[in-house]
A and B are shown apart, each in its own frame.
Chain A
Amino acid sequence: MCPHRRSLRTSKWCIVLFNKHSLITRLTLLLSLTTLLFSVIYAKLYYRHVFEEELARANGTVMQIGKTVSATASIAAYLEDKDLATEVVNGLISNDIILSAALVSKDTLLAKSILHSGPGSIQLKLVNPFFLSENIGMIHIAPNTLIIEQNARSIALGGVKTMLVVILPIIILLTTLVYWQVTRPLNNLGKQLAKILPGSAQRLKVDNHASHNEIGRIELGINSLLDKAEALFEQERSLRAEVVELEKRFRLMFEQSSSPTLLVKEEGDILLINDAAKDLLVGMGIDVDERFPENLGLYCKTPDILYTFTENSIKQKQVMQSEFEFLNPLTQSTVWLSIIVLNTLSDGKWYFQVFLADITLRKTMLNQLNKRAQRDSLTGLYNRYGAELMLLDWIDNQCTFSLLLIDLDKFKPINDVYGHNAGDALLKHIACQLSGAMDTTDLVCRWGGDEFLVARLDITQQELTRLAQQLLEAINQPMPFEHREGQTELAVGASIGIAHFPQHAENLKGLVECADVAMYSIKKTSRNNFTFYSE
């Protein structure tokens, strides 16, 4: 092992030991503190015990010493011999364990050491050397408690030292063992774990010899957990890939769809909007950040119907389809939108998908087609179909109106002499004249061939008479015509039959028949005149 590595290992040791949160440090600290505490308690108890024992022993010794000197002391007390007493006292205090002593005869103090104070001393009775029943004095001996305490303390300390000598190596041994058996494998496990990415194929290295202990079992457990995690991750990953793929497809479908589509929350917030919808709405001047359907309602020509439509859709949870007309504020043109609202429930919440379609073109085409079907291609007036639609409408609405059926006189010869072009030109001319004579609210139509039909709402008999005359004048107005041989003027007359609704007939067919009857009565008689139908 190179010195660098060794120092690295030492520093690791240090890190482990000096990290106050590490188990080993805590264990060591706890053990040390406990040992210290027990040592202190033990020292206290042991000291007290030893002190008492020492004190008892000292007292015993003192008594023995006292007894040893009691013969001489008795003599000293008997003779009241102060010199002998002093000798006895000096002899006593020459012992370490005796602090002070005094010798007292019956009533006088014979000798006393300097330190003697009285209390706390052991007292020994002195008897007359010749009459044992006679008390003649007392020896007071005070044991040297300081020395006894010192002795007790040193004995107790010695005991603690002995204990520590035994315990400290055990602590060190235990700490080392715990480090090698627990902390190091745990640290190792932690380091390995930190390197492992969940879901990867990485696993903990489990020592064979350690596989049966607790840490080994934890490692095995973690490895099996990692196995499961990897399997789950794998499953999750493939699922996610599928979801991503699906989402991509759906997104593509949604985003790239030429069909403008919105996903809207029940409250109206727009969650998703595809490019087609964005283009359409922005092109219509509609703010896509606003709520649905209020954003559309702003420019809708029938906003109330739109709101009712969406409300009903939400209420009934049904697929609803309708068409609405909008005004594009940017171009001031009309825009028709087809709106389909589809309710879907997802995760307990209701959403609605809104499919928009710009149907303006179709709508215009239909209108045009419709218009073309009702118009006469030559004159531009309503054709018979168009006129019938309008008249039926009037009849349905119970309007009062008068119908004038106009049949041109002598038109066929013009067609025969000057050709179809001349006939067509004349028909156009008549149509123009009639249109000029009538109001815009009136009906003017080419009923078929050289027959025209006009109708006016709410007209009096007088007005009608004047109108019929005006019409005759307008029809009689000649039309300049150029042909191969030169310029000429073409002029026709007209027979006009008039019928009133609802006066003459209840339905259109009957009414037209009435007008036809009146018109033929003119045709057969005067021509270029008008008459009213009469029953």
Chain B
Amino acid sequence: MRLKQFFSIILPWLLFVTCSANTTDTLVVIVHPGNLNQHISQHQLVDLYMGKYAAFPDGTLAKVLDYEQGHPLRTLFLTSLTGRPIGQINAYWSQVKFSGKASFPQAYQSIDAILEEVASTPDAIGYVPASAVTEDVKVVYRFVQ
């Protein structure tokens, strides 16, 4: 019953949020307000999210946050960031997984969880729709619509 109640409340909201995000909002990359990096380039973002580097441009170690596989925001983010279809990116990861050289982003379920984690962790980096940005986080990259 509780689960049914939860779904009846959460899912329509999620749908709304997703749809509004897809149609209206652009995604922004956020970090802890205390983070010294004011801006991160697309290339640096690709290197972070594709597991090449696990550090910010200034050299401080980064905790890369991502949504779980299949999340619409992740698909949107990664395709926008790399300009490749999501299938290719998944294939990339499946190849990389075996060697264990790359560092995988940590997967989260929701925007709120990301926001909360970024706000509370100084070296975290994540992405949310621009409309969801709070004062507790700092935007370092904004996708051009």
A and B form one complex: yes
Q: Contacts A72-B95, A84-B95 hold; do A79 and B82 have CB atoms under 8 A apart?
A: no
Q: Which B83-103 residues have a C-beta within 8 angstroms of A?
A: 83-84, 92, 95-96, 98-99, 101-102
Number of A-B contacts defined by CB within 8 Å: 33
A84 near B101 with CB under 8 A, answer yes
A84 to B95, CA, bound (A): 9
Chain B contacts for A79, CB-based, 8 A: 51-52, 96, 99, 101-102
A-B contact pairs, 19 of them (CB 8 A): A72-B95, A78-B52, A79-B51, A79-B52, A79-B96, A79-B102, A80-B101, A81-B96, A81-B99, A81-B102, A84-B95, A84-B96, A84-B98, A84-B99, A84-B101, A130-B46, A130-B82, A131-B43, A131-B46
Chain B contacts for A129, CB-based, 8 A: 50, 92
A402 to B46, CA, bound (A): 189
* A482 within 8 A of partner (CB): no
Chain A contacts for B43, CB-based, 8 A: 131
A69-91 CB mask vs B (1 if < 8 Å, else 0) is 00010010011110110000000
Q: Contacts A75-B92, A75-B95, A131-B43 hold; do A81 and B101 have CB atoms under 8 A apart?
A: yes
Interface residues on B, range: 10 to 19
Residue of A80, A81, A83, A130 with most chain B CB atoms under a 10 A cut-off: A130
Main secondary structure of the interface of A (DSSP, over half): helix
A83 to B98, CA, bound (A): 9
Q: Which B55-103 residues have a C-beta within 8 angstroms of A?
A: 82-84, 92, 95-96, 98-99, 101-102
Interface residues on A, range: 10 to 19
Q: Which B27-52 residues have a C-beta within 8 angstroms of A?
A: 43, 46, 50-52
B46 near A83 with CB under 8 A, answer no
Chain B contacts for A75, CB-based, 8 A: 92, 95-96
Give the 6 A-B CB pairs with smallest separation, nearest first. A81-B101, A83-B99, A130-B82, A130-B46, A84-B99, A81-B99
User: Shortest distance in angstroms between B128's beta carbon and chain A's nearest beta carbon?
Assistant: 22
Chain A contacts for B95, CB-based, 8 A: 72, 75, 84
A79 to B82, CA, bound (A): 16
Identity of the chain A residue whose Cβ is nearest the Cβ of B84 in the assembled complex: A130
A83 to B101, CA, bound (A): 9
Q: Which A114-130 residues have a C-beta within 8 angstroms of B?
A: 129-130
User: Shortest distance in angstroms between B98's beta carbon and chain A's nearest beta carbon?
Assistant: 8
Chain B contacts for A81, CB-based, 8 A: 96, 99, 101-102
Identity of the chain B residue whose Cβ is nearest the Cβ of A129 in the assembled complex: B92
Q: Which A285-300 residues have a C-beta within 8 angstroms of B?
A: none
Chain B contacts for A83, CB-based, 8 A: 99, 101
A334-378 CB mask vs B (1 if < 8 Å, else 0) is 000000000000000000000000000000000000000000000
Chain A contacts for B102, CB-based, 8 A: 79, 81
